[in-house]
Amino acid sequence: YVIGKTGSGKSSFMKTLYADLPLKQGTGQVVDFNLKTLKEKDIPFLRRKLGIVFQDFKLLPDRNVNNNLRFVLKATGW
């Protein structure tokens, strides 16, 4: 869990961990990926090693839950 007041940087912190925002200063390493030197082509590989549950779930509205899961599993090679 990440908790804190509104505007304290929770979302920015999380987005930096999964490379949605660049790490601008300092150092950071997540599941053996260096966030400072991470190349764009390596971002999908980083994200495949992370388990993130988003508040809006990122479901495709034209599919039911089962078909959403099938889509993700097929897309990730499972």
Encode pLDDT of 4-59 as tens digits.
999 999 999 999 999 999 999 999 999 999 999 999 999 989 998 987 767 766 78
- Do the domain assignments include residue 4? no
pLDDT on residue 43 = 93
- Do the domain assignments include residue 49? yes
- Do the domain assignments include residue 1? no
- Do the domain assignments include residue 5? no
Which of these ranges, 36-40, 61-65, 73-77, has the smallest mean pLDDT? 73-77
Range of the domain at 18: 10-75
Identify the CA nearest to 37 among candidates 55, 19, 54, 10: 19
- Do the domain assignments include residue 3? no
- Do the domain assignments include residue 28? yes
pLDDT on residue 36 = 95
DSSP letters along the chain, please? Answer: -----TTSSHHHHHHHHTTSS---SS--EETTEETTT--GGGHHHHHHT-----TTTT--TTS-HHHHHHHHHHHTT-
- Do the domain assignments include residue 62? yes
Q: Work out how many domains the chain is built from and give that number.
A: 1
